[in-house]
Amino acid sequence: MKAVKQVQGNAFPLNRADVDTDQIIPKQFLKRIERTGYGEFAFFDWRKDDDFIINQPDYAGAPIMLAQQNFGCGSSREHAVWALDDMGIEAVIAPSFGDIFRNNSSKVGLLTIELPQEDVDYLMSRAEELPSSEIKIDLQAQTVSVGAEWTRQFEIDPFAKHRLLNGLDDIGITLENEDDISAFESERDALKPDTTPALESATKMG
């Protein structure tokens, strides 16, 4: 995973609630077996509208996305995070996020920052009025700021912060505790099912 420390730049004001992952990356692009190359398909159907915010040249290349509550709800597809990442988004700021999307983001290195509604509304209207207006996010300090006069703190799980700041591979961290996993397995309830019998071939159709 890539490390993230600071994000600075302008923001897409995607002023919509309940943006689901089907909108972020529609199903027809989930047939690919790679992790990359999804950026051009992000918001594929909404982009067909010339007025859609992503199509506005003033916002081209913005590293931040602003959205309303429950961003990333719905399907577990991590492709949604890969698509945002691939189109150059480094952070999304919203009043709330879908749980699975937020988890996925923390594994990829996309910041998901929750701010109160009034703060999101402030940033949203500012970005709508002045597309070039910059937002600065400092993960270490857990702050979002606009110039010198407006700064807000955000919450983040300390372990996720540590991993993001250092770009740490989650699996590597877990495997440092492999002895604990083995110990748990040796005590584990023997009544739990195992899938080995599923290897046997069954009646074929047709």
Partner 1 sequence: MTEPQTIIEKIWDQHVVRQEGGKPDLLYIDLHLVHEVTSPQAFEGLRLSGRKVRRPDLTLGTVDHNVPTTDRSLPNPDPLSAQQIEVMRKNCEEFGVPLWDIFDIRQGIVHIIGPEHGLTQPGMTIVCGDSHTSTHGAFGAIAFGIGTSEVEHVLATQTLPQLYPRTMSVEVTGELHDGVTAKDVTLAVIRETGVDGGVGHIIEYHGDVIRNLSMEGRMTVCNMTIEGGARAGLVAPDDTTFEYLKGREFAPQGEEWDRAVEEWRALATDDGATFDKYVALKGEAIAPHITWGTTPAQSIAINERVPSPEDAPTPSAKETAERSLVYMDLQAGTPIADVAIDRVFIGSCTNGRIEDLRAAAKTIEGHKVADSVGAMVVPGSGLVKQQAEEEGLDAIFKDAGFEWREAGCSMCLGMNPDILLPGERCASTSNRNFEGRQGAGGRTHLVSPQMAAAAAVAGHFVDIREFNA
Residue 51 touches partner 1, criterion: CB under 8 A: no
Handedness of CA 62, 18, 160, 181 (dihedral sign): negative
Q: Please identify which residue in 104, 123, 137, 139 interacts with partner 1, judged by CB under 8 A.
A: 104
Task: Please choose, out of 55-63, 133-141, 144-152, 198-206, the segment that lies near partner 1 by the rule CB under 8 A.
Answer: 198-206
Handedness of CA 176, 180, 185, 186 (dihedral sign): positive
Residue 202 touches partner 1, criterion: CB under 8 A: yes
Residue 186 touches partner 1, criterion: CB under 8 A: no
Task: Please choose, out of 25-33, 56-64, 127-135, 145-153, the segment that lies near partner 1 by the rule CB under 8 A.
Answer: 25-33
Q: Which is nearer to partner 1, 148 or 205 (by Cβ)? A: 205
Residue 30 touches partner 1, criterion: CB under 8 A: yes
79 three-state secondary structure: helix
Q: What's the rounded Cα separation, in Å, for the pair 170 and 80?
A: 20
Q: Which is nearer to partner 1, 6 or 177 (by Cβ)? A: 177
Helix (H) / strand (E) containing 153 = strand 150-153
Residue 26 touches partner 1, criterion: CB under 8 A: yes
Query: Do the Cβ atoms of 30 and 79 come closer than 8 Å?
Result: yes
Task: Please choose, out of 10-18, 52-60, 133-141, 148-156, the segment that lies near partner 1 by the rule CB under 8 A.
Answer: 10-18
Query: Do the Cβ atoms of 97 and 78 come closer than 8 Å?
Result: no
